Amino acid sequence: MSATPIDNTLLATGPVEEPVNYLNVDHSIKSWLLTGDHKRIAILYLFSTLFFFFLGSVAASMIRLELTSPVGMILESETYNKVFTAHGVIMIFFFLVPAIPAVLGNFLVPLMIGARDLAFPRLNLLSWYLYIIAGALILTVLATGGVDTGWTFYTPYSSMYSNSQVTMSIIAVFLAGFSSIFTGINFIVTIHKMRAPGMTWFRLPLFVWAAYATSVVVILGTPVVAITLLLVVFERVFHLPIFNPELGGDPVLFQHLFWFYSHPAVYIMILPAFGVQSELIANFSRKRVFGYHFVAFSTLAISALGFVVWGHHMFISSESMYQSVVFSLISFLVAVPSAIKIFNWTATLYKGTIRLQAPMLYALGFMGLFTVGGLTGLFLASLGTDVHLTNTYFIVAHFHYVMVGGSITAFMGGLHYWWPKMTGKIYNDGIAKVNALLVFVGFNLTFFPQFIAGFVGMPRRYHYYYLIPEVQAYHILSTAGASVLAISFVIPAVYLLQSLKSGPKASANPWGAHGLEWETQSPPITFNFTETPIVTDEVYDFDPVSEFEQERANAEMTDPGNDAAVTHTGEELPSGGTE
Amino acid sequence: MATAHADPHDEYSPLKHQYEDIEQQNECYTVGMWTFLVTEIMFFGALFFTYTLYRWNYQEDFYLAHEHLNVTLGAINTTILLFSSFTMVMGVHYAQLKDKLKVLGSLTVTMGCAFAFLVIKYFEYAEKFRDHLYPGANFTTDAASLHGANLNHAQLFFGLYFGMTGLHAIHIIIGILCIGTLAGMWAKGNKLVTEDYLPTEMIGLYWHFVDLVWIFLFPLMYLMPQPYK
């Protein structure tokens, strides 16, 4: 974007002293723990969410190992219940919900709209502390026996019968919920009120649109699940019989209220991934996102429709036929805006100058995996097939295709794409590309067999399946895939951390990308821009100069010694090779 | 380069570093507070929905059980909260006029009303506990206390009564803490509030919301009409 040109990039070439940036401005621990800087909070979130991702993955590995035998391998039934609950609660509330908004969103939203910070920095920090307190509580839960209700906390089991750590888990989820509400409020206010001069709504990067739509879902949905779970705590601790069927309470009411949030929560996890996807597809095919307005409005349409489809989780839970028909119909409607996105991204690729660098490989993987995840959702939205497939591994495979294949792939793509901006370092693109393929292969190997296992009758949440031993082959395939997937998450940890230590310095715009975040130095200064940028054109306005920059960026990738300035003037510079 | 890291604004100004000017800051405060209130509406909304469902299912029993509530105390509390909303508005008014003493006076009266509300609530709760109307194993079986309502459904009614008024009371307590902090900032002459009336108005908005919840709770809980048979 031809905003006010900034000369920081020239400083980046200064050989002696590293320019001041948000990372090296102050090294004390206090400066991190009391920071108001959205970029530092994003880094804090990055490490804390990855810690919980690791924990959730350990639980997943235990599940996969257990399922390799029809009579179980390592866990007792009760322990198995606690392990899959831990996997669900940690992955959903402590990784997927905060991962993209709180890490990439926190880092990028102010940068992308040309603001110095989010509107409420201290609220942002409070959000992280709430997350940490919630995380400490969930660790306490794990250390004191765990919780066995499943991540859905269905009543009356959770409210009346379970004698595991339900109360503490719910308080942890409640606090994590408020942490995401605070992030949501911050994004809404920031996007409404803090855009740089000239940054109109339709010049916003689609990532910002996605962050906005996500925040709307967060502030409308999360309070509902907060109060619903709180009512379960009230019932357990204070004996208020809200969901108690013995006294005339309705346990199914819990399911309605729970899914009123938890279906939109799916969109909290996937909408930011759509945002990342739009950025990656546009910048690595050097083209404006095809049908920008449609992509932007389909994001809003998904967040609106997301609130009226919760009943499709309850087709077999005493819902009336007419209710089910309506919910089924609306669930099919969600496929329309989702398909608009997929088609528009595909159209963006058409005649684009495609660069197959690591983030782009993740983006392409996302398109395939999300399409499978989305389309199998339609099987489950159809009443007839749903009755057969509900509570089987088909559902497990479906939502993992959306959550892991969609959200986590996009998170990985986004992390790779913005890593040079966040850290000022460039990682090894070759290994990253191989790893992107490894994620894709490992993922499909893990979850595709689960579709079949589920279809032939493997129920979810069971660990004994000696009555249908023929599904063992699928489980073994799945476990093998999970091992590949595990390795493909360890490798990035190694090469990304290694890039911090010995990676070449990143220029302000190593991808030759377009957007305000690439117009400040890498890593940015604390207040992001030396002066408030003025935006004069739209975000995906690629020009031939960018092509030139891209070539240079490629040269840099392979040639660590060269981090010469990237210029926006379009004047031909010698490629500055130093081989 | 180093100057870019200093706060772009004067440290004695009420304007925070991330904003361009005071108008932007005030707009952010306003949008932020209303957004937060939307979350609060959804929070209580789920409770009101639950209440509506059960009252619809058990109209007669809810009517009979509600007869044990003390309408007089409830009405006094309603009046107190309405009055506190008025004094809060006066506080915002004087904040705009930068009249420190009158702001402090208004805020103090508002907090006084909030405490009065809680004290009356305490006596109401004590009365219910005395009559064993708290749900659970010790719930009364005395028909006089239940006014003939079904024992189970009366528990449900009182469960909702304690749950909803209890959460409202927690919001009152949070309100007292917020108004107290605000009053402290006014007393110290903190420029964030004395030079800019918006923070006072935002706390006021929250307080009006808490009042508004009670304005719904009072008729729903205390003023039921007899259901048609």
Neighbours of A189 (CB within 10 A): 25
Instruction: Look at A185 and B39 and tell me if their CB atoms are within 8 Å.
Output: yes
What is the predicted pLDDT for the residue at A549? Answer: 59
Examine the pLDDT at A430 and tell me if it is beyond 70. Answer: yes
Examine the pLDDT at A568 and tell me if it is beyond 50. Answer: no
Examine the pLDDT at A257 and tell me if it is beyond 90. Answer: yes
Instruction: Look at B17 and A248 and tell me if their CB atoms are within 8 Å.
Output: no
DSSP for B104-170, please give it.
HHHHHHHHHHHHHHHHHHHHHHHHHHHTT-SSSTT----HHHHTT--HHHHHHHHHHHHHHHHHHHH
Rounded to 5°, angle at Cα A113 from A345 and A547: 50
Q: Give me chain A's average pLDDT, please.
A: 89
CA distance A170 to A189: 29
- Residue whose token pair is 């706060």: B7
Q: Percentage of chain A surpassing pLDDT 90? A: 79
What is the predicted pLDDT for the residue at A61? Answer: 95
Q: Confidence class of residue A531 from pLDDT cuts 50, 70 and 90? A: confident
Q: Which residues pair with A525 in a beta bridge?
A: A528
Could you say which residues from 168 to 227 on chain B have a Cβ atom under 8 Å away from some Cβ of chain A? Answer: none
Dihedral sign for Cα A153, A154, A159, A161, please: negative
What is the predicted pLDDT for the residue at A512? Answer: 83
Q: Confidence class of residue A112 from pLDDT cuts 50, 70 and 90? A: very high
What is the predicted pLDDT for the residue at A314? Answer: 93
* Closest approach of B49 to chain A, Cα-based (Å): 9
Name B195's Cβ contacts closer than 8 Å, sequence gap at least 6: B13, B14
What is the predicted pLDDT for the residue at B16? Answer: 84
Tens digits of per-residue pLDDT, A260-313?
999 999 999 999 999 999 999 999 998 899 999 999 999 999 999 999 999 999
Tens digits of per-residue pLDDT, B6-31?
455 555 577 888 888 888 999 999 99
**Which of A404, A405, A407, A422 has the alpha carbon at shortest distance from A496?**
A422
What is the predicted pLDDT for the residue at A558? Answer: 57
In chain A, whose CA is at the least distance from the CA of B154? A247
Average pLDDT, integer, range A121-145: 96
Average pLDDT, integer, range B64-78: 94
Instruction: Look at A257 and B50 and tell me if their CB atoms are within 8 Å.
Output: yes
- Does the interface ipTM go beyond 0.90? yes
- Residue whose token pair is 């109209």: B59
What is the predicted pLDDT for the residue at A576? Answer: 39
Dihedral sign for Cα B5, B7, B9, B10, please: negative
What is the predicted pLDDT for the residue at B13? Answer: 72
Q: Which residues pair with A505 in a beta bridge?
A: A425
**Which of B161, B49, B32, B56 has the alpha carbon at shortest distance from A256?**
B49
Strand, coil or helix: what is A505? Answer: strand
Examine the pLDDT at A65 and tell me if it is beyond 60. Answer: yes
Instruction: Look at B54 and A260 and tell me if their CB atoms are within 8 Å.
Output: no
Tens digits of per-residue pLDDT, A28-49?
999 999 999 999 999 999 999 9
What is the predicted pLDDT for the residue at B192? Answer: 87
Instruction: Look at A192 and B153 and tell me if their CB atoms are within 8 Å.
Output: no
Neighbours of A473 (CB within 10 A): 12
Could you say which residues from 244 to 263 on chain A have a Cβ atom under 8 Å away from some Cβ of chain B? Answer: 244, 246-250, 253, 257, 260
What is the predicted pLDDT for the residue at A552? Answer: 64
Q: Percentage of chain A surpassing pLDDT 70? A: 91
DSSP for B161-217, please give it.
HHHHHHHHHHHHHHHHHHHHHHHHHHHHT-HHHHS-SHHHHHHHHHHHHHHHHHHHH
Average pLDDT, integer, range A384-397: 93
Instruction: Look at A240 and B20 and tell me if their CB atoms are within 8 Å.
Output: no
Q: Which residue has the higher pLDDT, A476 or B4?
A: A476
| Token code pair at residue A402 | 């959306």
Rg (CA), chain A: 24
Chain B residues in contact with A193 by the CB 8 A cut-off are 24, 27-28, 31
Tens digits of per-residue pLDDT, B111-169?
999 999 999 999 999 999 998 999 988 888 888 888 888 899 999 999 999 999 999 99
A222 touches chain B (CB under 8 A): yes
Could you say which residues from 482 to 521 on chain A have a Cβ atom under 8 Å away from some Cβ of chain B? Answer: none
- Residue whose token pair is 């990656």: A280
Torsion of CA A225, A316, A250, B44, to 10 degrees: 20
Examine the pLDDT at A13 and tell me if it is beyond 90. Answer: no
Q: Which residue has the higher pLDDT, B6 or A388?
A: A388
CA distance A545 to B144: 86
**Which of B8, B207, B12, B14 has the alpha carbon at shortest distance from B111?**
B207
Examine the pLDDT at A561 and tell me if it is beyond 50. Answer: no
| Token code pair at residue B5 | 């890291």
Phi, psi of B136 (to 5 degrees): 130, -165
Examine the pLDDT at A1 and tell me if it is beyond 50. Answer: no
Examine the pLDDT at A562 and tell me if it is beyond 50. Answer: no
* Closest approach of A181 to chain B, Cα-based (Å): 8
CA distance A37 to A16: 27
Examine the pLDDT at A375 and tell me if it is beyond 90. Answer: yes
Examine the pLDDT at A14 and tell me if it is beyond 50. Answer: no
Average pLDDT, integer, range A153-172: 93
Q: Percentage of chain B surpassing pLDDT 90? A: 76
Examine the pLDDT at A412 and tell me if it is beyond 70. Answer: yes
**Which of A403, A355, A291 has the alpha carbon at shortest distance from A511?**
A355
CA distance B92 to B102: 10
Tell me if B173 sits within 8 A of B206, measured CB to CB. Answer: no
Could you say which residues from 178 to 197 on chain A have a Cβ atom under 8 Å away from some Cβ of chain B? Answer: 181, 184-186, 188-190, 192-194
**Which of A396, A354, A502 has the alpha carbon at shortest distance from A63?**
A396
Q: Which residue has the higher pLDDT, A187 or A532?
A: A187
What is the predicted pLDDT for the residue at A195? Answer: 94
Torsion of CA B118, B119, B125, B126, to 10 degrees: 160
CA distance A217 to A302: 10
Examine the pLDDT at A9 and tell me if it is beyond 70. Answer: no
> Is the backbone peptide bond immediately before A121 cis, with ω within 30 degrees of 0?
no
User: Would you give the distance in Å from CA A214 to the centre of its chain?
Assistant: 11
What is the predicted pLDDT for the residue at A575? Answer: 41
